[in-house]
Structure 1
Amino acid sequence: MDNQAFEMHGENLRSASHGKQWPQKEERKGGWSLMKVFLVCLLACVITTAIGVLILSLVYVNNPPFVRDTDGGDKGASSSNPEEKSVDVKFQFLNHLGKSKVYTYPGGEIQWARFRNDVNEYLSDEEMAFGKSINNHRSKMTFGTLRIKSKGLRAPHWHFNANEHGYLLQGTAWVGVIGPDDSVVTTYNVTAGQVIFFPRNTVHWIKNVGPDECLFLLFFTTHEELQTLDVDDAFFSTPEDIAARALQPQGGVNFIRTFKKQAEDQAVNLPSNLNELVQNATYVQSPDNLVWQYFYDLKGSAEYPFPGGIFQWARYRINGTGLNETERIFSESLNKHENTLTLATLRIFSNGLGQPHFHFNANEMGYVISGCAQVGVILSGVTASFNIGIGDVIFFPVGTQHYIKSVCDEDLLLILAYSTGNQLETLRMKDYFRRTADHILAQLFFKQQAEFKNFP
C-alpha cells in the first residue's frame, strides 16, 4: 500500500516553490517534530537491543555451552542445531576417568564415573554423554576410585540406594561391616587383588593399615545419583538431647556437647594430630564364616583360560561343585542380597582377543588397570569403535555385542563388573554362527550353503 502521508507532505513542498511561501518558522517546527520522533524510536531500539544482548550474555555465563539437555533424555550423538557441539557416540560407552574432577579430603581422594542429577556438575560433553548413557540404559552401575593415604580412614558410612563391590588394586586395609543385627560386627584385613562387598544400608569403614597408599576400584549398584550418609554427619544432625539419650554416655548431654564438627568434609579422614588421639589400635580378624560374606580372594581364585587370555571370577554359581566352604559362603551371600554384582579380572595377552559376545542378563562396566586395547560396540542403531588405556572406564549395555582386542606389547588387564547376582549368561559370535543352520546363513548372506563348512 502507498504511503498517503508521504504524498501529501510532498505536495505541500512543491506548492511552496511555485506559490505563496509558508512561514519559515512553521516549516522548521514541522521538520523538528519528525526528527524528534525518529530519534526517540532510534534510542528505544538501541536500548532494547542492549538489554537483549545483556540477558543472552548472562544466560551463556550461567549455562556452559556443553549443558544443553536438562530433561535427562537421550538425544543421541548428533544435534539438529549446527552451532551445538556434536559428541562422538563412543562416549556413551567410554569415560576418561583421569579427566574427571578429583574430590580431595584430608585422608585421600575420590573420582567418579557416574550419572549426576545436576548437569552443571559434569566437566564436559563427553562426561555427560557417559553419565546419561548409564542412566538411560538403567545399568544399575556407578564406578569410582578411592585413594586412602597411610593411616587414613574412609569414615564409617552407608549407602541408601546401592550395594558396593570393591577391588583393592594396591595397599593393605582393615575393613569393618555392621550388619542388620547390631550384635554382629565383621572385621577383616584385605590386600591387593582381593574383593570387598558391602550390602546396601550396612555401616562400613575402610582403614589403611599399611605404609603405602591404598587404591580401591569401586562399583555401586545404582545408575542414579549415589546416596550416602557418613556417621559423623548423622551424629551432628541429631539433636543433642536425643543423641545423649540414645548413646547414654557418662556426663550425658554435656559430654555430647564436647563433640566439635569439622569445618571440612571428613569423608576420607586423617587428623593432623592422629597420634595424640589414638594410642592403641587393634585390627581383629573375624571368623571365616562371617568374613566370607563380605570378602573374596579373587587373586587367589581359580583361573579360567580362553584362547588369548585368562578370567578370574568373584560370582554366584548355581552349581557350587568345586567351591570350597569359604567360596560357597561368598557365592550364597551375593545371591541372597538384591541387585548385587559379579566381578572378574580379565587378562588379555598382547594381540589377544576377547571375541565378540553379549550378555543376556547383565550390563557390563570395566576399568583398565594396565595395557591398551581396541574396543568395538554394536547395539541397535549404534556402532562404535575406539581405543582404551590405563584409567579408562568402559560400559556395555545388556544385549550389546562387544569385543576387546589387546594392541600393546604388554598384557591388557581389566577389572569388570556385571549387573547380576545370578549366574552370568553369555553368548559368543562363534557359538551363534555355529548353531545357526547352514541353509539359513546361505539365504541371509547370499552365499553357497557349502561355503559355511569353512567355519570350524
Structure 2
Amino acid sequence: MKAQFFLPLPLALLPLVGSVPAPRASNPPLRGSEALVGYSPTEKIAPGPKPDIKCSLLPAQTADPQLGEYLDLEKVENPQPIRGNTGGDDPGPRNYYYDKINSDKLAPPRNRQWFHDQCSMADGLGIDSAGWARQENIDVMPAATEMAGVDMRLEPHGYRELHWHVAAEWSLVLNGSCRIQAVNENGQTFVDDVTAGDLWFFPPGVPHSIQALEAGVEFLLVFDDGAFSEDNTFLASEVFLHTPKSVLAQDLGVDVSAFKNLPDDELYIFGGTPAPKDIEKQNVTTPAGVIPRTQSYSYHLSEQPAHEVAGGSVKIADPATFPIASNFSAAIVTVHPGGMREIHWHPTSDEWTFFIQGQGRATLFSAPQSANTFDYRAGDVAYFPKSNSHYIQNTGDEDLVFVEVLQADLFTDIALGQWLASTPGRSYRTP
C-alpha cells in the first residue's frame, strides 16, 4: 500500500504502510495543563523498584581504579561502568555494542573523561559507587554549536552536590526518581520530587542540588551552549577549597574550626543518607517565601497523556506550559515499528535529539545536494541544524522513543507533506 500522510497537525508522524486511523474523540492535546507545573503538597512520587540489573564484573573492575588494568568486555553480557569504588550501574539507555569494544570509555582508568556513547565516562567519588556522568559537546560533535548534553546516573540516595552553571540547564528524567532543590537570586526557595518522564529547568547561576530517591535515578541534561563542559561547573566544594578558611569563617559567621574536615577534592557525585519521605521536612522557606508556582523549576510531564497520531504519539513541553524554561521547547516522540517521524525542519532552531529506546535511522539533507544517513540506538545523540530537512525512521521491532529539544519559545516545525498539501498543484508539478 502507498504511504499516507497525516496532515492536520503541525507535528505529525508518517506511517510507512497501512491506513491512517481516525483521531479519537478523547485524544489528549499536544500540551499539558498548568497543574503539571511545580510542587504540590498533595503530590506523591512513587520511587518505584530499583532497576534489576543482572551483570557480572571482571576481576580488574573490582581492583583499585588507579591501577587502570585493561578490561576485556567483549564477552561480558551486560558490561557496567564500574571500577573499584567509582562509577555505578547503568540501567540504560545505552549502545551495548559500542560499550563492549570501548571498555576504557565505558569504565575509564582515570577520572574526568567524558562520553555520550562516543566519549568517556566520569565516575562519582565516595566509599561506595555513587554514580557517573557522560557528556556530549562540540569536542565530540563539532556541528552541535547551540546545545550540549549530559547523561547522569545517581545510585540510590546519591547526591549531585550543590552547584550552579553559567549555562541554562534543562532536564528529562529517564528512569527512577529524585529530589531537586534550589534558591533564586531573590532568596525564594524551591523543592520538588520528580520521576521518570518529568522535567526540570534551572536558569544560569541558580544554585541547585539533586538527590536520588530509593530506586536511584538517571536523567538527561541539555545546556544552551554547545561548548558547555561539566568540568566548568561551579561546585560548592570547589568554592570552599579555593577560599581561605578565615574568609569562610567571617562570611558564614562561624569559627575557623568548623572547616577542619573539608574534603581534599571536589565531591561532584557522592553517596548520602536517605532523603526524608515527607518532602515538607526539606521544604525550607525564607522571608522571601517559595518560588511562585508559575515560575517553578519542575514540570510533571509524566502525568501528561500522550497525543496519538498516525504511527505513534507525541508530548510537547515548551514555555506555553513550562514558562521558566523560556527558550527550551521539546517533544517526546514515540514511533511504532514500521513508522517514521515525517520529513520536516525547524526554521528558527537547531534540533538536539536523544534516543531513549529502540533503534532508528535518520537522513539529514543540506542544500544543494548533501544527504547523510545515520543509524541510531538508545543512548545516542543526533543534531540537525536549523532549516535542514530530516526524518527519523523506526528500523527495529519495538517502539522508537526519542526527545527533540529546540532553542525556541514554542515547539514548531514545517513538514514536507503539509507544505505540499497546502500548495497549489501547478506550483510543483512538471508539465
In which range does the TM-score fall when normalised by the shorter chain? Answer: 0.5 to 0.7
- Residue 345 (structure 2) pairs with residue 358 (structure 1): yes
Runs of at least 5 residues in structure 1 that lack an aligned partner in the other structure: 1-94, 117-126, 318-326, 449-456
SS of match in other structure, 1:98: coil
CA distance in 1, matches of 2:213, 2:401: 26
Deviation of the 1:259 alpha carbon: 3.2
Corresponding residue to 2:162 among 139, 156, 163: 156
Structure with more relative contact order (C-alpha pairs < 8 Å, separation 6 or more): 2
Distance (whole Å) between structure 2 residues aligned to residue 408 and residue 239 of structure 1: 57
- For residue 138 of structure 2, what is the aligned residue in structure 1? 115
- Equivalent AA in structure 1 for residue 121 of structure 2: V
Partner of 1:51: none
SS at match of 1:193: coil
Maintained 8 Å contact 1:147/1:214: yes
Cα separation, 2, equivalents of 1:245 and 1:357: 58
User: 1 CA distance for matches of 2:227 and 2:184?
Assistant: 24
Counterpart code for 1:260? L
Aligned residue-pair number: 304
Write the distance in 2 (CA, Å) between the matches of 1:280 and 1:213: 15
Contact 1:378 1:402 in 2 (8 A): yes
- Match of residue 252 from structure 2: 247
Distance in 1 between residues matched to 2:330 and 2:119, nearest whole Å: 24
Q: CA deviation at 1:435?
A: 3.1
CA separation in 1, counterparts of 2:151 and 2:277?
Answer: 26
Residues 303 and 280 of structure 1, relative CA distance in 2, 3 Å threshold: closer
Q: Partner of 1:334: helix, strand, or coil?
A: coil
Give the Cα separation in 1 of the matches to 2:293 and 2:240: 28
Q: Partners in 2 of 1:365 and 1:109 — Cα distance?
A: 22
Code of the residue aligned with 2:374 in structure 1: it is F
Q: Is 2:201 aligned against 1:197?
A: yes
**Matching of residues 39-438 of structure 1 within 5 Å:** 97-106=116-125, 107-116=130-139, 127=140, 130=141, 132-135=142-145, 139=146, 141-160=147-166, 162-182=167-187, 184-210=188-214, 212-226=215-229, 227-249=232-254, 252-256=255-259, 258-263=260-265, 265-270=266-271, 283-284=279-280, 289-290=292-293, 293-317=296-320, 327=321, 330=322, 332-335=323-326, 340-381=327-368, 382-420=370-408, 422-438=409-425
**Rounded Cα–Cα distance in structure 1 between residues aligned with 2:264 and 2:335:** 46
1:430, 1:180 → 2: CA distance? 47
In the superposition, relative to structure 1, how do residues 316 and 225 fare at CA in structure 2: closer, same or farther (>3 Å)? closer
Is contact 1:358-1:402 (8 Å) kept?
yes
Flag the 1:391–1:280 CA change in 2: closer, same or farther, 3 A: closer
Percent identity for Structure 1 against Structure 2: 20
Secondary structure at the aligned position of 2:419 is classed as helix
Amino acid at match of 1:143: G
**Secondary structure at the residue paired with 1:219?**
strand
Q: Which runs of 5+ in 2 are unaligned?
A: 1-113, 284-289
Distance 2:291 2:185 in 1: 19
- Cα shift at 1:202: 0.3
Identify the structure with the greater helix proportion. 1
Q: Residue 186 of structure 2 aligns to a residue in which SS?
A: coil
- Residue deviations 1:130-185 (CA, integer Å, cap 9, x gap): 2x1112xxx2x10110000111100010001x111111111121110111112x21
Between Structure 1 and Structure 2, whose CA radius of gyration is higher? 1
C-alpha displacement of 1:262: 2.9
CA 1:281 to 1:304, structure 2 compared with 1: closer, same or farther past 3 Å? closer
Secondary structure in 1 matching 2:301: coil
Change (3 A) 1:109 1:375: same
What's the CA shift for 1:196? 1.1
Q: Give per-residue Cα distances to partners, 1:26-63, cap 9 Å, x unaligned.
A: xxxxxxxxxxxxxxxxxxxxxxxxxxxxxxxxxxxxxx
How far 1:386 sits from its partner (Å)? 1.9
- CA distance in structure 2 between the aligned counterparts of 1:181 and 1:288, rounded to whole angstroms: 9
Task: Tell me if the contact between 1:96 and 1:392 (Cα under 8 Å) persists in the aligned partners.
Answer: no
TM-score normalised by the chain length of structure 1:
0.63
Task: List, as ranges, runs of 4+ consecutive aligned residues in structure 1 with deviation greater than 6 Å.
Answer: 278-282
Structure 1 Cα separation of the partners of residues 171 and 134 of structure 2: 14
Contact 1:301 1:313 in 2 (8 A): no
RMSD of aligned alpha carbons: 2.4
Residue 384 of structure 1 and its aligned partner are, at CA, apart by 0.7
Q: Please give the alpha-carbon distance, in whole angstroms, between the structure 2 residues aligned to 1:248 and 1:348.
A: 57
Give me the whole-angstrom Cα distance separating, in 2, the residues matched to 1:291 and 1:172: 22
Q: Distance in 2 between matches of 1:292 and 1:369?
A: 28
